[in-house]
A and B are shown apart, each in its own frame.
Chain A
Amino acid sequence: MVAVKAHELRNKNKAELVKILDEQKQALANIRVQKVAGGKTQEIGEARKNVARVLTVINQTQREQLRLFYQKKAFTPLDLRVKKTRAMRRALTPFEKSKKTVRELKKLAHFPLRKYAVKA
């Protein structure tokens, strides 16, 4: 069982990756059949991880492309948005927090924090 390498997979395009995925799933199914027939079972772990690797590459590249596509758009799909926590998503933005009333601005202007130095 040859281990599939992720960095090699990333050069391929979607159609090829889907084909490779199918092949790896087929290989996994064959190993499962062999297990029943009393054959070698050590390769099962590697086969499962191969399938996982191909799926990871497929999904990662897909999402990356989608993010590029939606970069300039106003609305993005929900699963491409920042997740954080519900409360944090609804909190004030840093700009909104920084806003000050005119009264406060005047105070800051007229009474800034003074720095003093003590003569030795």
Chain B
Amino acid sequence: MHRDFSLFIAWTELFKSSVKALNAKKSALKGVHGKAVRKIRTSTHFHIPKTLVLNRAPKYARKSIAHAPRMDQYRVIRQPLNTETAMKKIEEHNTLTFLVDVKSNKNQIKDAVKRLYDVEAAQVNTLIRPDGYKKAFVRLTADVDALDVANKIGFI
């Protein structure tokens, strides 16, 4: 006597497929990060993980407008010197002597001389006088005569 297993088999198949469907539904609801996985750590030291770093995208400029350059050539060079030692330097060493702004540096002085008087400086030496002003000795290139330039500037 053979039992009719066909119905039983059909029922088990139905049961299996329904279980599968239920599991699929559950994992779909849980999402990709449903299962908690433990990370494998290969080192005993914990280093701060790298996170997203965004660039700045400000909603407004902090300063409405950028300032014009503050240390322009007129601010750097205050006045030329025509003392006796300064005159000596003009004649003998082809250098001009200026009083310059205390906050200016040699590169700025070189640049300012170029812009104002159209001459190249071979070298600039500076010192700060005891009364607080900065003195700059600007040695001109050999192809220019300091005396001519001084006459052109007008302080001889």
Contact = CB atoms under 8 A, between A and B. Distances in A.
Interface of A: 25-26, 28-30, 32-37, 62-63, 66, 70, 73-80
Contacts of B59: 74-75
B79 A32 contact: yes
A79 B64 contact: yes
Nearest to A34: B154
B8 interface: no
Nearest to A28: B74
In the A-B complex, list the 5 residue pairs whose CB atoms are closest, starting with the nearest. Answer: A75-B60, A77-B64, A25-B74, A37-B155, A32-B79
Contacts of B154: 30, 33-34, 37
Nearest to B83: A36
A74 B58 CA distance: 13
17 contacts: A29-B77, A29-B116, A30-B154, A32-B79, A33-B153, A36-B155, A37-B82, A37-B156, A62-B65, A63-B64, A75-B60, A76-B64, A77-B62, A77-B63, A78-B60, A79-B63, A80-B64
Interface residues of B, number: 20
Interface of B: 59-65, 72, 74, 77-82, 116, 153-156
Question: Which one of A29, A30, A35 has the greatest number of beta carbons of chain B within 10 Å?
Answer: A29
Given A74-B59, A76-B60, 17 more contacts: A25-B72, A28-B74, A29-B74, A29-B77, A33-B79, A33-B154, A35-B79, A36-B79, A36-B82, A36-B155, A37-B154, A37-B155, A62-B65, A63-B65, A78-B60, A78-B63, A79-B64
Main secondary structure of the interface of A (DSSP, over half): helix
Contacts of B77: 29
B25 to A, nearest CB: 47
B62 A36 contact: no
B130 to A, nearest CB: 20
Nearest to B154: A33
A70 B81 CA distance: 49
Contacts of B72: 25
A67 B153 CA distance: 43
Nearest to B59: A75
Contacts of A63: 64-65
